[in-house]
Structure 1
């Protein structure tokens, strides 16, 4: 049999696709289209006419937006506190006992950082190195070119040791519960994010503050890297500095241990828990 005739016979013997198989897609396609339409509708309602994942909502933008919100709220807190103080002074009943308490409060508020202050101050500025790593010795660690948390903390501790009566880092007043934390080369302070250069100012006797900086081992170690890799370090005096009052939360938080069957019991028989006050 010729080849063309054999192929023709094979084609003729192929059975057509069953009608049930062909008709299955008549039901599948509408269901898929209906589901897709439902998803589009849910997406439109959720987005409320905006992009669900806009390109600008990257991590940097999120941090900047949060930083701006904290800055705005802090300014509002200062304004409201000033109004409360003014109204309290106007409407409080007059008595010797009240006057004594207000005087005591004023003296404590200054030490606690709750009131603005002015006076002579010393300012320390720390900055990352701007040298190209390729121009430095081959064994140079890239971390040497950055200002780290321990560097900022070393300056802060030295200034307190030197008798500082008030302190600010960047534009924020520092109090006993303020914590200095760094992530990479950014400073996290009381809900705000800062990039170098970092500016630390302390109010007090300028001579004593400078001597404390000169003698402190942590600050001395930082200064060793200034000529080595080009870290920024400068100290300046200001005779009429103004520090704003602290505008954050002053609420103390405690760490407590969970009650366990083996925990000691108090007079009432209930388990007692230990607590540690936040460091001051």
Structure 2
């Protein structure tokens, strides 16, 4: 006898899984943001009466005294600062006044030194012209004792536009680094080139050069006879303007200047002038020559 077909045995359907089942750790953190240990400690402290503001009168008095003490400290500090402010301001004003007085005194001394130097130079030039005989004027001219004016050239030299402090470059092997700046050695070569090209008198930024003039460096500054110069450097040279310009640019020193322009962006312009004026040298060193005994000329 055939019975009725039995339906297939099916297992009890399991409840649908949660969408965040794979993120159980994150879910636990979200549901229990406070650690259980912390929660238990907070509950125990609250049950013992240790949480929140102090409840006993003694504790409240202690808190009040603490607040009063803190306020007193802040008040005393503010009062001291207010009292000290005028004293500090007065000391600052006194210091400024002292600096201004000392600066004025230094400037006066410097002006006196310049006046004395000019007076000495004037006396030296007068003595040179008086005792120089027929060649006194020429001697004074060659020694830089007199002002000079006449045709010549004006050579303006300046640092590169992007010149920076420090750095290095090919010219560093010559004893100084390349920073796009004109150096004292550069200026020495330019001046020597002008002398060799026929210049009769030369000045740099108003400083007259003589046979005893020194061009040196102090840090980034160029000194001429211990006088600091500020770029751009204006070199005036008296002579046959056009010939002097041509001969200088064709000389080794002129080519050196051109190389600085091309390789290090040193800026330079040369102009032929109908007349340039050079001041007298600020000071002269006058030496006397005496013949040796028994060595006079016949």
TM-score (norm 2): 0.51
Structure 1: where are the runs of 5+ without partners? 1-48, 93-97, 253-280
Q: Which residue of 2 aligns with 1:189?
A: 224
Q: 1:229 to 1:104 in 2, by over 3 A?
A: closer
Q: Which has the larger radius of gyration?
A: 2
Cα contact 1:190–1:248 (8 A) shared by 2: no
Alpha-carbon distance in structure 1 between the residues aligned to 2:234 and 2:284: 22
Do structure 1's residue 238 and structure 2's residue 245 form an aligned pair? no
Alpha-carbon distance in structure 2 between the residues aligned to 1:166 and 1:241: 10
Q: Which residue of 2 aligns with 1:118?
A: 149
Q: 1:108 to 1:128 in 2, by over 3 A?
A: same
Alpha-carbon distance in structure 2 between the residues aligned to 1:88 and 1:155: 30
Q: Which residue of 1 aligns with 2:136?
A: 105
Q: Which residue of 2 aligns with 1:46?
A: none
Cα contact 2:152–2:240 (8 A) shared by 1: yes
Alpha-carbon distance in structure 1 between the residues aligned to 2:171 and 2:136: 53
Cα contact 1:187–1:193 (8 A) shared by 2: yes
Alpha-carbon distance in structure 2 between the residues aligned to 1:175 and 1:112: 6
- What number of residue pairs does the alignment pair up? 187
Of residues 190, 199, 204 in structure 2, which corresponds to 1:164? Answer: 199
Corresponding residue SS for 2:157: strand
CA-to-aligned-CA distance 1:217-243 (integer Å, 9 cap, x gap): 233123223244421111012212111
Q: Give the CA deviation at 1:212.
A: 2.7
Alpha-carbon distance in structure 1 between the residues aligned to 2:138 and 2:163: 50
TM-score (norm 1): 0.54
Alpha-carbon distance in structure 1 between the residues aligned to 2:179 and 2:157: 13
CA RMSD of aligned residues (A): 4.4
Of residues 231, 235, 242 in structure 2, which corresponds to 1:207? Answer: 242
Of residues 109, 125, 128 in structure 1, which corresponds to 2:159? Answer: 128
Cα contact 1:167–1:202 (8 A) shared by 2: yes
Which structure 1 residue ranges, 4+ long, deviate > 3 Å from structure 2? Answer: 49-52, 71-89, 138-142
CA-to-aligned-CA distance 1:90-118 (integer Å, 9 cap, x gap): xx9xxxxx8xx543212211111101111
CA-to-aligned-CA distance 1:176-225 (integer Å, 9 cap, x gap): 00011123431111131112111111100112311232122233123223
Q: Which residue of 2 aligns with 1:265?
A: none
Of residues 153, 178, 185 in structure 1, which corresponds to 2:213? Answer: 178
Corresponding residue SS for 1:107: helix
Corresponding residue SS for 2:242: helix
Q: 1:87 to 1:51 in 2, by over 3 A?
A: same
